[in-house]
Amino acid sequence: MIPEGEESLVTSTLLDLPEADDLAEALLDLAVPHEDINELLALRGRMLSDPGLRRLLDAGAAELVQDMGKVGGGGELPRMPEESGAVGRYLPVYVFVAALPYVRAYHRERSVPDEVSRRTLADLGRNMAVHRRRHGTGGLLIPGWIGLHFRGELYQLGRLQFQRSRLGGRTGEAVRAAGLPLGPGDFALDLHVPDFLGPISPATCDRSLARARDFFARHFPEEPYRVATCHSWLLDPQLAECLPKESNIVRFQGRFRPAYEAKEVDDGGPVGFVFGDPELLPDGLPRRTGVERAIGDHLRAGGHWYGGHGWFEI
């Protein structure tokens, strides 16, 4: 959080992006794809000289910084209309670069290891790669998701990402019904599975969970995390009917106790994560891997995917 009375200092500081050479290095540190860097450098001057763009940059960066470290903090980041072109698509990236000194300072304050900080914030570049794979242009698919990283709420620890969070109503009631002294509003770690990091084997997940137990006890001792939750297409129980029981996804599902049943159709979830574009039609989906065959064949047979919601005790 920003100390009371220092808002004006933050505002004036955030208006300044790094110089071009320093900006390039910052983008590399954030794993921004190389094909995006030249365009980001070329647009830097316009971002700083255009009064309207400067206001958006300031508003977005201040929004991130004012809720630094707060669980569930942060509002909507500024967006520009689609017809604004590259400057609109890249605006959130500049916002995150402007806020970078503050999230790094927060990590240092919490004694977060540099390696964890670097790999956590590098998810910015990963999600820019997803945007280019899906749309063929530079940009950021879901800026609000990356806001979790830059507010100090989410950390990558090995194969998995862990978000400081609180139990929602239905999940909290399920945890309480299982006999744990927890319920809605109590601390929980939301578990996420990032793309482009290989399989989610039991061994890699075990290592991530072991790191998470130590990490949050050490760096956030005032927040007791006893359960982990997950809300994902990976937990759709139908996958266990379509994949071998020894598959990584089925074994991943086996860690969780069901929280509540997902009833809304979400075909775009698995299609987007597995094939790269949630709008792809079932008839054209490839069948190269077991997961591709499971997702596509189920849809081609007239079925739907719903996702799942689960939890387990850490």
239 neighbors 253 (Cβ within 8 angstroms) = yes
Say if residue 48 is in the same domain as residue 71: yes
Which of 152, 173, 191 delimits the end of a domain?
152
Structure tokens at 248: 């990584």
Q: Which of 108, 133, 152 is the last residue of a domain?
A: 152
- 90, 156, 74, 175 alpha-carbon torsion, rounded to 10°: 140
Q: Are residues 103 and 5 in the same domain?
A: yes
Distance CA 155, CA 109 (A): 15
pLDDT tens for residues 190-219?
999 998 899 999 999 999 999 999 999 999
Q: Which uninterrupted H or E stretch holds 258?
A: strand 257-260
Is the same domain home to 148 and 158? no
pLDDT digits (tens, 9 = 90+) for 213-229: 999 999 999 999 999 99
pLDDT tens sequence across 242-257: 999 999 999 999 999 9
For position 67, what pLDDT does the model report?
86
10 has pLDDT over 60: no
| Cβ–Cβ < 8 Å for 115, 155 | no
Q: Are residues 223 and 300 in the same domain?
A: yes
Separation in Å, CA 19 to CA 4, 40, 244, 297 = 29, 12, 53, 51
Q: Are residues 138 and 180 in the same domain?
A: no
Query: Does pLDDT of 13 surpass 80?
Result: no
Q: Which of 99, 126, 152 is the last residue of a domain?
A: 152
Count the residues in the chain: 314
Q: For residues 166 and 100, state if they share a domain.
A: no
Specify whether the CB–CB gap between 230 and 190 falls below 8 A: yes
Beta bridge partners of 154: 163
Please write down the HEC assignment for all residues of 141-200. CCHHHHHHHHCCCEEEECCEEEEEEECCHHHHHHHHHCCCCCCCCCEEEEEECCCCCCCC
C-alpha span between 208 and 92 (Å, rounded): 29
Q: Say yes or no: 22 and 159 in one domain.
A: no
Same domain, 36 and 177: no
Task: Give me the amino acid identity at 159.
Answer: R
Average confidence score pLDDT of the chain: 92
Going by C-alpha positions, the residue among 159, 169, 103 that lies closest to residue 309 is: 169
Q: Residue 68 half-sphere exposure, CB side, CA atoms within 13 Å? A: 23
Are 158 and 250 members of one domain? yes
Judgement on whether residues 163 and 311 belong to the same structural domain of the protein: yes
221 and 234 co-located in one domain: yes
Phi, psi torsion values for 109, nearest 5 degrees: -60, -35
Euclidean distance between CA atoms 80 and 212, whole angstroms: 37
What does the alpha-carbon distance between residue 83 and residue 141 come to, in Å, rounded to a whole number? 16
Count of structural domains within the chain:
2
**Mean pLDDT (whole number) for 124-153:** 93
Full domain range(s) for residue 105: 1-152
In sequence order, which residues have a C-beta less than 8 Å from that of residue 2 and are 6 or more positions away? 10, 65, 66, 68
Q: What phi and psi, each to the nearest 5 degrees, are found at residue 148?
A: -60, -40
Q: Is pLDDT of 5 > 60?
A: no
Element spanning 30, H or E:
none
Assign residue 172 the CATH number of its domain: 3.40.630.120
Which of the two residues, 158 and 74, has the higher pLDDT score?
Answer: 158
pLDDT in tens, 245-294: 999 999 999 999 999 999 999 999 999 999 999 999 999 999 999 999 99
What kind and span of H or E run contains 50? none
Q: Which residues pair with 258 in a beta bridge?
A: 310
Same domain flag for 130 and 242: no
The dihedral through the CA atoms of 35, 278, 120, 89 has a sign that is positive
